[in-house]
């Protein structure tokens, strides 16, 4: 038995994602789809939902069946991540966030945990200008979960970057003491990082957009 999300959550997701498919950008025949959650076990919260058109929603559903070996090429997480970066540079933060979250999910389901964390960090950057505090907090928790559960598979560079992003988020919400603590932890980890894994141009845009 499939447990449907609350209607209020579906409306929120459709509104925030501007009724736009996270894969192809279609705005006709769209509906919400699940990330991470098993809809047969419990009701999915809004932050674990994404908007997909009927074509890609059905492709995702069929991919979990016995007759389909995998998702179609349009679900390639590396492609989605690259597209999300383009959307970020263009200032389309909702779609950039959607693509980053979907890419993170797809990377994690294929056991590519460093790439999943990288996408979650980019999702945090994309969601900050939107001031969606509820989803921002949940995205940070997802990133923290990956760091904790997949520790040996995630290098210090990404751990440092996550803490750097998290310290900025805490600062945004006037949690200055916690922000300083997290920043100090990130500085400690950064001493073990040989190079900066973050795209300098994207960081420049991030700071310009967020002040």
| Number of domains composing the chain | 2
Same domain, 65 and 82: no
Per-residue pLDDT tens digits for 172-211: 888 899 999 988 888 887 776 655 454 444 445 444 444 4
pLDDT higher at 206 or 100: 100
- Residues 153, 88 within the same domain: yes
Structure tokens at 184: 């100090």
The two structure tokens encoding residue 42: 């419990």
Which among 51, 75, 99 is the end of a domain?
Answer: 75
93 plus 166 within the same structural domain: yes
Please give the pLDDT value at position 193: 64
Residue whose C-alpha is closest to residue 44's, from 129, 146, 138, 119: 138
Neighbour-count burial for 141-162, b at 16+ CB within 10 Å, e otherwise: ebbeebbeeeeeebeebbbbbb
Exposure string of 52-86, with b = 16+ CB inside 10 Å and e = fewer, is bbeebbebbeeeeeeeeeebeeebebeebbebbbe
Banded pLDDT at 106 (limits 50, 70, 90) = very high
Q: Average pLDDT of 102-118?
A: 93
Domain that holds residue 82: 76-211
Residues 9 and 93 in one domain: no
Domain shared by 67 and 84, yes or no: no
CATH of the domain at 148: 1.25.40
Query: If DSSP codes are grouped into helix, strand and coil, which group holds residue 197?
Result: coil
* pTM exceeds 0.85, yes or no: no
117 and 49 belong to one structural domain: no
Contact 180, 139 (CB under 8 A): no
Same domain, 188 and 100: yes
Last residue of a domain, one of 40, 75, 110: 75
Q: Are residues 156 and 211 in the same domain?
A: yes
Are 126 and 103 a contacting pair, CB within 8 Å? no
Instruction: Say if residue 57 is in the same domain as residue 113.
Output: no
Same structural domain, 95 and 199: yes
Residues 170 and 95 in one domain: yes
Q: Are residues 87 and 57 in the same domain?
A: no
Last residue of a domain, one of 47, 75, 103: 75
Digit-coded pLDDT (tens) for 31-49: 999 887 677 788 889 999 9
């Amino acid at each position: 038995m499939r447990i449907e999300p609350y209607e209020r959550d579906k409306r929120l997701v459709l509104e925030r994602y501007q009724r736009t498919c996270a894969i192809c950008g279609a705005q006709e025949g769209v509906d919400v789809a699940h990330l991470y959650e098993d809809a047969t076990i419990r009701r999915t919260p809004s932050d674990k939902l994404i908007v997909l058109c009927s074509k890609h929603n059905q492709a995702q559903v069929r991919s979990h069946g016995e007759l389909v070996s995998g998702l179609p090429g349009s679900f390639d997480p590396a492609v989605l991540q690259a597209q999300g970066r383009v959307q970020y540079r263009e200032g389309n933060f909702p779609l950039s966030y959607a693509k980053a979250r979907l890419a993170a999910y797809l990377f994690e389901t294929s056991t590519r945990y460093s790439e999943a964390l990288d996408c979650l960090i980019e999702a945090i950057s994309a969601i900050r200008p939107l001031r969606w505090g509820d989803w921002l907090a949940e995205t940070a928790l997802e990133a923290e979960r990956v760091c904790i559960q997949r520790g040996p598979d995630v290098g210090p560079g990404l751990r440092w970057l996550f803490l750097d992003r998290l310290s900025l988020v805490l600062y945004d919400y006037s949690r200055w003491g916690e922000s300083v603590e997290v920043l100090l932890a990130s500085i400690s980890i950064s001493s073990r990082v040989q190079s900066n894994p973050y795209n300098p141009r994207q960081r420049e845009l991030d700071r310009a957009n967020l002040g």
